[in-house]
């Protein structure tokens, strides 16, 4: 959450003077973050010179420091056209990496600066900040200070984050720095926090708080103003309905709330546990009571969020065959932007893997110096070394999920460089690379994600069938294979581009393709009669969507035994995405999307793979794993899949929505849309009216009802937009999750930005109810 305001440009000396004048403010924020005794934080507040590295010729010293709000990093800029000094916040940082770990630092610096180098990586598309400190000690101070800041800021409660944000917004509104607030400053502050009020209301609010009648707010009066500002009427009503013990909630009262409203089958001990965990008042806690503050605290914790906390860890059976799972998959993984001229980067692989992607694509071409490279062929996208990509994949593959990663090779290389590809994968990935069937005998089915934990599986072409490798007369000569597209399917809609019609395949590369052999698709009957379980086809989105629409049940049967990979059409030069849901409904496992492109389709993808411990694997429903299944998501007949539910949603309110327009005077006019994704009959959406000029605490109390017939395949997306009567609404935030992961009752819905990262403090407050109905589609 940011207070957006254009600040005047400052020089390094002016910034240091400003800090000296605001040390008291800094101390308050340091204490709030629990870092008052931390020497590294004090070092950051004092600031220091760092060498900023952009290229071999652009290396310049810049002054960096942490501002007194303890979350904004300011740095000196010499760009005359910049309207204000550049800053970024701790909340913008995805990671701080010690040493020369980014492409830029490895390429543009020497090994001798290894101990002084570090990089700041951002959650958005913003480029990495590659820096070199004057000493190893200072580098460690920067790294440790930033990491502690990130950690402690993440540990703040919702209330502490709100207090921190409001305190610093108030400080910015206090133009004369006298720690008092006049009416003009109060109105400025309201605009900072995304509320526009008319003059009469501002005057009324000011007079209500100005008990001393001195024309400004001070001390306790500002505290009173804060209480009025953050007061939530809807919480008063809910809490008041159940606080039946001297105006507070006893454990029994809380248990009644959990049973009646939240539909939880809990005992008194569970209620007592919540009181002990979240009640901030020690006196109330001793009396086994929950105050309204404690109740609100609980509603902002995992138990009070809409996503079922039981689904945050791996809870599904991970011992089923690999093809029984939806697998989080990326297309053109190496790209940071579009597929015509965007940059290729190992960082793109890292980002995808950290988001639990379990199938990444490597588009491999001959490099000029004998080393294979990765880029989007016949375009202006930049190139990265194949071996650098494999190193990055090895380093980051299992940081978010320990389950297997599939390397999908799109091979355009000569035999010589294919051999080098195989050597790199074998030497870099080592024993983690699957080079033989598990058990070292002819396999009859896929191993499970559990059996393949921590392993890499190669998807690509083979010279022969897997069974042939167990015979003594197995082929040792190179064969001729088509290289239109690594899958053996149609070309990627790039028919206008030159291609090599034929390429030889190196035996060394062929031999490490075990469970995912790419073959051409000749129809479901042919696949059933002639293909082994490990022989898989890739489908262009148009062909796949047509099959899912016209032959859904045969497609499902095909995917009960084999793997299918879907990829975006080549004409999507902007790296846009298709809707993955119909393909999941048809049982397709590897539905690959452009992870680098923020869009509704990626939101839904993130929602699909949100549960099961962010493992990147979601067990398909039983009727998508049954060889005799009659399930068809299009024509939908009676069967175990039909579990008609009525989904009631009340969108009550929102809190602390961010501004989407950088103009100081711009205030959000929010509306909320609830979208249902799933089988055709379940697809629906409904939206609230917009609220004028209130992004801080808008209230709708809008009630919607949806019929959901196949809940195991349904997903729900909550979208917040800034209403505009003259043009398209602007995106504010969203949250997507599986229908089966929704908690009933009163819950907060966290909001994510366009890149899928959490918006600090911003959320919706909703009430949900799911009722069983007769299993009959209308």
Q: pLDDT tens digits, residue range 683-709?
A: 999 999 999 988 889 999 999 999 999
- Domain hosting 705: range is 645-772
Active site residue 376: yes
Residue 84 near residue 95, CB atoms below 8 Å: no
* Residue 312: inside a domain: no
pLDDT tier at 109, thresholds 50, 70, 90: very high
Same domain? 340 vs 385: yes
Tell whether the model's pLDDT for residue 611 goes beyond 50: yes
Same domain? 565 vs 652: no
Q: What is the spatial distance between Cα 195 and Cα 203, in angstroms, rounded to a whole number?
A: 15
pLDDT tier at 13, thresholds 50, 70, 90: low
Q: What average pLDDT does this structure show over 500-512?
A: 85
Residue 242 near residue 249, CB atoms below 8 Å: yes
pLDDT attached to residue 16:
55
Specify binding-site residues for substrate.
52-79, 459, 461, 538, 565
Domains identified in the chain, total number:
5
Q: What average pLDDT does this structure show over 452-461?
A: 98
Same domain? 476 vs 504: yes
Cα torsion for 431, 436, 437, 439, to the nearest 10°? Answer: -70
Higher pLDDT, 212 or 402: 402
To the question of pTM greater than 0.75 for the whole model, the response is yes
* Residue 461: inside a domain: yes
**Any residues with CB less than 8 A from the CB of 565 and at least 6 apart, and which?**
329, 359, 408, 459, 487, 536, 537, 538, 539, 588, 589, 590, 591, 592
Q: What is the spatial distance between Cα 107 and Cα 765, in angstroms, rounded to a whole number?
A: 48
Same domain? 27 vs 53: yes
Q: Which residue, of 183, 213, 230, is where some domain finishes?
A: 230
Same domain? 502 vs 525: yes
Tell whether the model's pLDDT for residue 380 goes beyond 90: no
pLDDT attached to residue 489:
44
pLDDT attached to residue 20:
55
Q: Which residue, of 624, 656, 674, is where some domain finishes?
A: 624
For the beta carbon of residue 437, count every other beta carbon within 10 angstroms: 17
Q: What is the spatial distance between Cα 296 and Cα 289, in angstroms, rounded to a whole number?
A: 14
Residue 607 near residue 614, CB atoms below 8 Å: no
| Structure-block tokens of residue 22 | 């605001």
Q: pLDDT tens digits, residue range 34-82?
A: 888 889 999 999 899 999 999 999 999 999 999 888 888 988 776 655 5
Q: What is the spatial distance between Cα 485 and Cα 69, in angstroms, rounded to a whole number?
A: 52
Q: At 223, which CATH number?
A: 1.10.238.10
Across 228-346, the runs of DSSP E, i.e. the strands, are: 249-250, 289-290, 325-327, 329-330
* Residue 7: inside a domain: no
Same domain? 416 vs 344: yes
Average pLDDT, the chain: 88
Q: What average pLDDT does this structure show over 519-542?
A: 96
Q: pLDDT tens digits, residue range 151-191?
A: 988 888 877 777 777 777 777 777 766 777 888 888 888 77
Across 14-149, the runs of DSSP E, i.e. the strands, are: 48-53, 59-66, 72-75, 87-89, 93-98, 117-122, 129-132
Q: What is the spatial distance between Cα 701 and Cα 654, in angstroms, rounded to a whole number?
A: 10
Q: What is the spatial distance between Cα 487 and Cα 224, in angstroms, rounded to a whole number?
A: 65
**Any residues with CB less than 8 A from the CB of 530 and at least 6 apart, and which?**
none
| Structure-block tokens of residue 450 | 């559990």
**Any residues with CB less than 8 A from the CB of 219 and at least 6 apart, and which?**
none
Q: At 397, which CATH number?
A: 3.20.20.190
Q: Which residue, of 304, 337, 359, is where some domain finishes?
A: 304
- CA-CA distances (angstroms) from residue 278 to 216, 281, 299, 303, 530? 36, 9, 10, 11, 60
pLDDT tier at 484, thresholds 50, 70, 90: very low
Q: pLDDT tens digits, residue range 359-377?
A: 999 999 999 899 999 998 8
Q: What average pLDDT does this structure show over 239-251?
A: 95
Which of helix, strand or coil describes residue 726? coil
pLDDT tier at 475, thresholds 50, 70, 90: low
Same domain? 467 vs 581: yes
Tell whether the model's pLDDT for residue 223 goes beyond 90: no
Same domain? 348 vs 273: no
Same domain? 420 vs 495: yes
pLDDT attached to residue 776:
57
pLDDT attached to residue 5:
41
* Residue 463: inside a domain: yes
pLDDT attached to residue 491:
42
Q: What is the spatial distance between Cα 361 and Cα 579, in angstroms, rounded to a whole number?
A: 19
| Structure-block tokens of residue 224 | 């009173």
Q: At 761, which CATH number?
A: 2.60.40.150
Same domain? 242 vs 221: no
* Residue 144: inside a domain: yes
2-11, 17-26, 243-252: least confidently modelled range:
2-11
pLDDT attached to residue 546:
97
Residue 222 near residue 179, CB atoms below 8 Å: no
Specify binding-site residues for Ca(2+).
332, 361, 363, 410, 667, 669, 693, 722-724
Same domain? 104 vs 168: no
Segment holding 405, helix H or strand E: strand 405-411
Q: What is the spatial distance between Cα 62 and Cα 76, in angstroms, rounded to a whole number?
A: 6
- CA-CA distances (angstroms) from residue 623 to 550, 560, 676? 19, 9, 21
Residue 372 near residue 417, CB atoms below 8 Å: yes
* Residue 317: inside a domain: no
Catalytic residue among 158, 192, 300, 331: 331
Q: What average pLDDT does this structure show over 504-531?
A: 96
Catalytic residue among 2, 164, 300, 376: 376
Same domain? 387 vs 291: no
Higher pLDDT, 503 or 545: 545
pLDDT tier at 1, thresholds 50, 70, 90: very low
**Any residues with CB less than 8 A from the CB of 251 and at least 6 apart, and which?**
268, 271, 272, 275, 288, 289, 290
* Residue 6: inside a domain: no
Specify binding-site residues.
52-79, 332, 361, 363, 410, 459, 461, 538, 565, 667, 669, 693, 722-724
* Residue 209: inside a domain: yes
Residue 723 near residue 710, CB atoms below 8 Å: no
Cα torsion for 377, 382, 385, 388, to the nearest 10°? Answer: -130
**Any residues with CB less than 8 A from the CB of 20 and at least 6 apart, and which?**
none
């Amino acid at each position: 959450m940011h207070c957006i305001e254009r600040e005047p440009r400052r020089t390094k000396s002016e910034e240091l003077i400003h800090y000296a004048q605001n040390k008291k403010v800094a101390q308050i924020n340091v204490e709030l973050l629990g870092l008052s005794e931390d020497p590294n934080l004090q070092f950051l507040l004092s600031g220091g010179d760092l060498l900023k590295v952009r290229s071999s010729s652009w290396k310049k010293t810049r002054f960096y420091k942490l501002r007194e709000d303890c979350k904004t990093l300011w740095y000196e800029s010499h760009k005359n056209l910049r309207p204000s000094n550049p800053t970024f916040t701790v909340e913008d940082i995805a990671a701080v990496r010690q040493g020369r770990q980014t492409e830029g630092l490895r390429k543009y610096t020497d090994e001798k600066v290894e101990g002084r180098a570090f990089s700041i990586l951002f959650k958005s598309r913003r480029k990495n900040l590659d820096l070199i400190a004057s000493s190893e000690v200072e580098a460690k101070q920067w790294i440790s200070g930033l990491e502690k800041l990130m950690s402690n800021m993440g540990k703040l409660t919702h209330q502490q984050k709100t207090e921190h944000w409001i305190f610093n917004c108030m400080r910015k509104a206090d133009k004369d720095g006298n720690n008092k607030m006049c009416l003009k400053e109060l109105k400025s502050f309201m605009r900072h926090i995304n509320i526009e009020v008319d003059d009469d209301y501002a005057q009324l609010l000011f007079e209500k708080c100005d008990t001393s009648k001195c024309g400004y707010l001070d001390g306790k009066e500002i505290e009173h103003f804060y209480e009025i500002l953050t007061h939530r009427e809807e919480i008063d009503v809910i809490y008041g309905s159940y606080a039946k013990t001297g105006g507070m909630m006893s454990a029994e009262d809380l248990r009644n709330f959990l049973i009646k409203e939240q539909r939880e089958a809990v005992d008194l001990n569970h209620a007592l546990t919540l009181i002990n965990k979240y009640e901030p008042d020690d006196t109330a806690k001793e009396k086994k009571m929950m105050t309204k503050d404690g109740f609100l605290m609980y509603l902002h914790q995992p138990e009070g969020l809409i996503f079922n906390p039981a689904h945050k860890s791996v809870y599904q059976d991970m011992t089923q065959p690999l093809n029984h799972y939806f697998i989080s998959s990326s297309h053109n993984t190496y790209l940071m932007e579009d597929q015509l001229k965007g940059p290729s980067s190992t960082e793109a692989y890292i980002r995808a893997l950290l988001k639990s992607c379990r199938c990444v694509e490597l588009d491999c071409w001959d490099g000029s110096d004998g080393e294979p490279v990765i880029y989007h062929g016949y375009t202006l996208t930049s190139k990265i070394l194949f071996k650098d990509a494999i190193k990055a994949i090895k380093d980051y593959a299992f940081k978010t999920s320990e389950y297997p990663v599939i390397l999908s090779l799109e091979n355009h290389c000569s035999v010589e460089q294919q051999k080098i590809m195989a050597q790199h994968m074998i030497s870099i990935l080592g024993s983690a690379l699957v080079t033989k069937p598990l058990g070292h005998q002819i396999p009859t089915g896929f191993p499970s994600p559990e059996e393949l934990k921590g392993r890499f599986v190669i998807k690509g072409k083979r010279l022969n069938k897997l069974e042939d490798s167990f015979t003594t007369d197995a082929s040792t000569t190179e064969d001729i294979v088509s290289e239109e597209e690594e899958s053996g399917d149609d070309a990627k809609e790039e028919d206008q581009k030159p291609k090599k019609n034929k390429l030889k395949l190196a035996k060394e590369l062929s031999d490490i393709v075990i469970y995912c052999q790419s073959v051409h698709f000749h129809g479901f009957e042919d696949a059933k009669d002639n293909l082994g379980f490990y022989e898989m086809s890739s489908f262009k989105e148009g062909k796949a969507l047509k099959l899912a629409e016209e032959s859904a049940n045969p497609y499902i049967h095909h995917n009960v035994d084999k793997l299918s990979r879907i990829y975006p059409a080549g004409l999507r030069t902007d790296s846009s995405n298709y809707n993955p849901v119909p393909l999941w409904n048809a049982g397709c496992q590897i539905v690959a999307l452009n992870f680098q492109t923020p869009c509704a389709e990626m939101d839904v993808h993130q929602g699909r793979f949100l549960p099961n411990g962010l493992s990147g694997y979601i067990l398909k429903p039983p009727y998508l794993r049954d060889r005799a299944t009659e399930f068809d998501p299009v024509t939908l007949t009676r069967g175990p899949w039909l579990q008609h539910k009525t989904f009631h949603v009340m969108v009550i309110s929102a809190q602390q929505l961010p501004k989407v327009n950088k103009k100081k005077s711009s205030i959000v006019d929010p509306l909320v849309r609830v979208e249902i994704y799933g089988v055709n009959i379940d697809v629906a959406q409904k939206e609230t009216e917009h609220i004028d000029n209130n992004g801080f605490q808008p209230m709708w109390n809008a009630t919607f009802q949806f019929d959901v017939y196949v809940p195991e395949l349904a997903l729900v997306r909550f979208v917040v937009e800034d209403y505009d009567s003259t043009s398209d609404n602007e995106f504010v935030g969203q949250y997507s999750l599986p229908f089966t992961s929704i908690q009933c009752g009163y819950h907060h819905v966290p909001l994510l930005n366009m890149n899928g990262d959490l918006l600090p403090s911003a959320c919706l407050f909703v009430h949900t109810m799911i009722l069983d109905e007769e299993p009959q589609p209308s």
